Amino acid sequence: MVDNIAYPVQLIQPDGRRVLMPDYADLVRDIGPQQLRGLYEDLVVTRRMDVEAVALQRQGEMGLWAPMLGQEAAQVGSAHALRPDDYAFISYREHAVAYCRGVDPGVMALMWRGCAHSAWDPRDFNLTNPAIVVGSQALHATGYAIGAHLDGAEIATIAYFGDGATSQGDVAEALGFSMSYNAPVVFFCQNNQWAISVPVGLQSPAPIAQRAAGYGMPSIRVDGNDVLAVLAVTRKATQRARDGEGPTFVEAITYRMGPHTTSDDPTRYRSAAETEAWKARDPIDRVRRLLDRDGLLDEAFVAHVQAASDDVAKRLRSGTIGAPDPAPLDLFDNVYSADHPLINEEREQYAKYLAGFAGTQEAVS
């Protein structure tokens, strides 16, 4: 039995060659040529979407963006392991998960542009809006998973977070609580090596996945730049959850190629040599090489992927620039799921303020 902490699961090498790991290869046996092409398309399209969003922020069309460059395989692979009725709780970087769950790129930027508290109705996609408070979504996912289990729903819940979030108390509480109540939740950590400017080795000298053992939770490490390996591992973890076998901790080892957010400058704390070394493990390049080795990378398919990428970028750009400015009182909408007297009172007070302000402006003019 291979130790998947010391030797993370890998099914595709960076040069595109297959890796012989029968236990996990069997979990993706259904991924034939067309499915592999589909995974590649999602990888390329979501990277194009991410690059376009960064450009929009640099052009002043967004206030902020959290780039996912380099982490596409961890997100696309895990998202494809989810069933429609599974529920995903994301942080602020899972743009590819949102895309794979069906969120229109045209609405993804609404929150980042400052036009709305949230971009989509979570009930439409079984996907939460981005959680800005680091690690909070782990608790939300655990609570939802327990509630779904009590309702008799045979689903899996997945919580996405980064390596830095594992040092937050919310994640620790979620891990402990989920084991106490056998919650059907997958804790999916994207270890992208940096929590803003703090290297992962400083906050955890041992593999992050080993932390799960302290709670009695099974864990596994996977090459987060290998879309097939991530798909296989997440399928296994989500099936454990659906079968009532409790939570699983997955550590996807990847790398954040860009800044933490567009307000960050990674050149101040990491070397160019480190970034270059990770470029050789690029998640898109390895699938492209595999497709090429298998004779599946013809000109027509490449043109199709390019057209799909351009279309998604266009939809993101038009949705961002064309987003209507919200009315001031929209600030109080969707704060609570039901009517709330405090919010009603605050809305009324602010409406009076706005009315008085407008009257003052008219008097001055």
Q: Which two tokens stand for residue 154?
A: 């045979």
Parallel, antiparallel or unpaired: strands 198-199 and 219-223: unpaired
Q: Enumerate the active-site residues.
A: 256, 260, 269
Helix (H, G, I), strand (E, B) or coil at 48: helix
Exposure on the CB side of residue 285, measured as CA atoms within 13 A: 10
Phi, psi of 248 (to 5 degrees): -135, 145
Decide: 71 and 193 in contact? Cβ < 8 Å.
no
Dig out the tokens for 354 from the structure: 């706005």
Strands of the chain, DSSP E: 87-89, 157-162, 185-191, 194-195, 198-199, 219-223, 248-253
SS3 238: helix
For 324-352, b/e burial (b = at least 16 CB within 10 A) is eeeeeeeebeeeeeeeeeeeeeebeeeee
- The CA distances from residue 29 to 20, 36, 73, 196, 247, in Å, are 13, 11, 18, 37, 24
Instruction: Give SS3 for 267.
Output: helix
Helix axes 283-293, 33-58, angle to 10 degrees: 150
